[in-house]
Amino acid sequence: MDEARIKVSIRCRLCGEKFVLRGRRDGGRVDTGFKMCLCNNTDDFEIEEMPV
């Protein structure tokens, strides 16, 4: 197991809401469990990874 733990900053492009989540990098993609914004947006986000 070589999962890199990261923090992920997610900003909704529709309403501007920001979320900071713990996630892990899983073979090139980032898994945070994040599903949708409060405004029901599910796929239009700015995503930034930060080292923990």
- Binding region for Zn ion (CB under 5 A): 12, 14-15, 17, 37, 39, 41
CB of 17 to Zn ion, least distance (A): 5
Long-range contacts of residues 21-26, Cβ cutoff 8 Å, at least 24 apart: 22/52, 23/49, 25/49
Q: Is 15 left (phi over 0), alpha (psi -120 to 50) or beta?
A: alpha
Nearer to Zn ion, 9 or 25 (CB): 9
CB of 15 to Zn ion, least distance (A): 3
Nearer to Zn ion, 40 or 52 (CB): 40
